Structure 1
Amino acid sequence: MWIWLGLCSMLLLGFYDLSKKHALTDNAVLPTLFFSNLAGACMVVPIILISLWLPEAAQRTGLYAAPLTPGGHGLLVLKSMIVGSSWICAFFAMKHLPISMVSPIRASGPLWTLLGAVVLFGEMPSPMQWVGMILIFAGYFGFSVLGRAEGIHFHRSLWVGLIFAATLIGTCSTLMDKWLIQRMDFEPMQVLVWYSLYNFIFFTIVNAVFWFPKRKSTTPFRWRWTVPMIGILLVLSDWVYFMAVENPEALIVILSVLRRCSVLVGFFVGALIFKEVNKRKKSWVLAGIMVGVLLIILAG
C-alpha cells in the first residue's frame, strides 16, 4: 500500500510543477504565490481546528497535529520564511525558463542536501554518492550547453541564478526538516500544517508591501484555475507522503526515489504542453541527473 501512496505523491508533485508553469505564464508572480498559499492554508486550517477541538477524532483519522510551544512556533515561522524565499526565487525563474530546464535543476536537491549534511552533520559521502555528484554536475554542464542554443547563458542568466538559489535555499529547508523531526522530535503533521499556515501569512505580508502598492505598473495578475491548484496539490502530495511514511513497512529510501521521479512528469508532459525545444537532447541530460540523484539517495 505504501508504494502506491508513494506513486500517488509522485504524480501529485509532477502536476504541481505543471500547475506552476501554467499559472505563471505571462502572469504576476507574487499574487500567484499569495492565492496558491491561500488555497493551501484553507486545507490545513481545518486540521489545526480539529486537532484543537476534537483531538481524539483527529488521531483516529491520522490528521492530528499536536500543540506546539511558542519556541516551536518560532522555528516553523523561520521555516516558512526560508520556504517562502525559495518559492519566490523558483517562481520568478519558472516564469522565464523552460520547465524542461527548471525541473531537472530542482530535482538535484539531494546533491545540495548531501553537501549540507557533510558540513552541518559531519556525514561523509560514499563512493557511490561521489559518482552521483559527478553525474549531476556533468548534467549541469550539459544543460548549460543546450541552454546557449536557446539563448540562455548559465553563467549570466538571472533566472538560472534564481533557480539555483531556490534549490539551495530549499536545501536549507530540507536540512531544517531533518533537524526538527529527528533532533527536536517534531511530528511531520505539525510541520506540514503550521508551516503551510505561516507561509500564507508570509506571502500576505510580501504582497502587501511589495506588490499591491505597485500592482498597476507591473505585470497584471490573471486568475487561472491552476493558481489554487498549486497549493492544493502540494498539501495533498505531502499528506499522502506522510501517510506512506507512517506505514511500518515503508522504506524511506524508496519513497524518496519516487518523490524525485516527479520531475519526469513535469519534464515530459510539460515539454509537450508548452512545445519546448531540444526535448530529446534534454531527456538524455535529465537521465544522467536522475541517475546521479538515485545514486545519492540509494547510497544514503
Structure 2
Amino acid sequence: MWWLLAVISALFLGIYDVVKKVSVNNNAVLPVLLVSSISSAIIYIPIWVVSHFNIIPTTHDFYIPSITLAEHGKLFLKSMIVVTSWIFSFFALKHLPLTIVSPIRATGPLWTLVGAIIIFQEQLSTYQWIGIVITLAFFYMFSIAGKTEGISFRNNKWIWFIILGTLFGAVSGLYDKYLLRHINRMAVQCYFTFYQVILFVPIVLTLWWPKRKENSPFIWRWSIPLIGIFLLIADFFYFYALQNPDSMISIVSALRRGSVIVAFAFGAYLFKEKNIKTKSIYLGGILVGIALLIFGTTT
C-alpha cells in the first residue's frame, strides 16, 4: 500500500503549499524558511533523545538509529539540495500567483521520471509515456495562460526560479530513493531536518540580516511554524512509501504532485487569483497526465 501513503503525503503537502503562500506574502523569505525549519527540528529533538538513550525500543516506528559519519555527509548533501530548491521556490511563490506556481511544481514527476529511468532503470508502460506527453503539452498551455496575466514564462525571473526549484526538487526525490536503500527513513528525516537549520542560519545572517531594513522586513505569522509541521507530516508518509522496496520513485513523486489540487483550490478561493477557469482546464490536463502515469504502473 505504498501508493496510499503517497496520497496521504500529497494531502498534507497541499496544505503545506497554502501556508507557504500565506507566510511569504509581503514578507522576508529567508527568515520564514529558517523559522519553519526550526519548528520541524524542535519536534524531532525529543524523538532523537528517547532514541539515543534507548527509552523506546529499536523496533519502534519512530526510533532514530545512529548512523555513520559518511551517512551524515550524505544527509548533509541532501539538505543542501533541498535548501537550494526551497530558496528558489519560496522566492517564486512570493512573487507569483499560487495558481501558476503549483501547476509548475506539479511537473516535478516528469523530471524525476527521466532520472529514474536513467539511474534506477525503471521501466515505463505505454500509458506512462502518453502521460508524459500530455503533461508537457498542458504545461506549455500554462505558459500561454501566464501571458494573459503579464507573466512571461521566458522573461520573468520568478518563473525561472520556480522551474529551478522544481528541478532541484526532482534531484532531491531521486537522491531520496538512493538514501532510503541504505539509511533508515527516520534517520534520514531527522538529521536532514537538523542540517536544514544549520544551513539556513548562516544564509539568513549573511544575506538577509545586514540589509533587513532596506529589504522586506520579517513579519511574524502563525502560519510560518506550520510550514515545517505540515512538511514534516507529509515527508513522514513520503519516506515511509519510498522505503518499500516495491515502490517506484516516479510514481510516488507523481502521486505527491496531487497536492496541486489542494493548493490550486485555496489559491482560487483565498487569494482571488485570475483566470481560474482557464487554469483549471490546463490543470485538469496535467492531472490527466499524472493519472496516466499512475494507471500505467497498475496495468
Q: Structure 2 length as normaliser, TM-score?
A: 0.91
Corresponding residue for residue 35 of structure 1: 35
Q: Which residue of 2 aligns with 1:162?
A: 161
SS in 1 for 2:213: helix
Is the 8 Å Cα contact of residues 10 and 261 (structure 1) preserved in structure 2?
A: yes
CA RMSD in angstroms, aligned pairs only? 2.5
1:109-258 equivalence runs, <5 A: 109-182=108-181, 185-242=182-239, 258=255
Partner Cα separation in structure 2 for residue 140 and residue 124 of structure 1: 24
Structure 2 residue identity aligned to 1:202: L
Cα deviation code 1:243-267 (max 9, x no counterpart)? 6778999999986665332110100
State the 1:58 CA deviation: 6.1
State the alpha-carbon separation in 2 of the partners of residues 122 and 248 from structure 1. 14
| In 1: Cα distance, 2:70 partner to 2:46 partner | 23
CA deviation profile, 1:86-106 (whole Å, cap 9, x unmatched): 000000000011111111111
Distance 1:2 1:178 in 2: 13
Q: Distance in 2 between matches of 1:124 and 1:249?
A: 13
Which region of structure 1 is more displaced relative to structure 2, 288-297 or 25-34?
288-297
- How far apart, CA to CA, are the structure 1 residues paired with 2:272 and 2:171? 33
List structure 1 runs of 4+ shifted beyond 6 angstroms.
1-4, 244-255
Matching residue of 1:260: 257
Q: Percent identity?
A: 44
String of CA shifts for 1:59-102, please: whole Å, max 9, x gaps. Answer: 43x11111110000000000000000000000000001111111
Match of 1:48? 48
Q: TM (normalized to structure 1)?
A: 0.90
Distance in 2 between residues matched to 1:121 and 1:293, nearest whole Å: 20
Partner of 2:24: 24
* CA distance in 2 between partners of 1:173 and 1:7 (Å): 19
CA 1:130–1:249 in structure 2 vs 1: closer, same or farther (change >3 Å)?
A: closer
CA–CA separation in structure 1 for the residues paired with 2:168 and 2:7: 26
Q: Distance in 1 between matches of 2:177 and 2:149?
A: 38
- Pair 203,253 (structure 1): closer, same or farther in 2 beyond 3 Å: closer
Partner AA of 1:212 in structure 2: W
Q: How many angstroms does 1:295 deviate by?
A: 2.1
- The residue type equivalent to 1:9 in the other structure is S
Name the amino acid aligned to 1:234. Answer: L
1:139 positional shift: 1.3
Cα–Cα, structure 1 residues 181 and 245, in superposed 2: closer, same or farther, change >3 Å? closer
Question: How far apart, CA to CA, are the structure 2 residues paired with 1:213 and 1:288?
Answer: 45
Q: Which amino acid aligns with 1:223?
A: W
Task: Report the Cα offset of residue 43 of structure 1.
Answer: 1.1
8 A contact 1:142–1:285 mirrored in 2: yes
**CA deviation after TM superposition for structure 1 residue 136, in Å:** 1.4
Q: Which stretch shifts more, 149-158 or 247-256?
A: 247-256
- Specify the SS of the correspondent of 2:64: coil
CA spacing shift, 1:112–1:251, aligned 2, 3 Å: closer
Match of residue 278, structure 2, among 281, 292, 297: 281
Count of aligned pairs between the two proteins = 297
* SS across alignment from 1:217: coil
Moved more, 7-16 or 97-106: 7-16
1:115 to 1:244, Cα distance in 2 relative to 1, 3 A: closer
| 2-structure distance, mates of 1:121, 1:95 | 35
Query: 5+ residue gaps in structure 1?
Result: none
Q: Are the equivalent residues in 2 in contact too, given 1:253–1:298 (CA < 8 A)?
A: no
What is the SS of the residue equivalent to 1:66?
Answer: coil
> More helix per residue: 1 or 2?
1
d(CA) in 1 for partners of 2:95 and 2:253?
28
Contact persistence 1:139–1:285 (CA under 8 A) = yes
Aligned equivalents of 1:248, 1:112: Cα separation in 2: 21
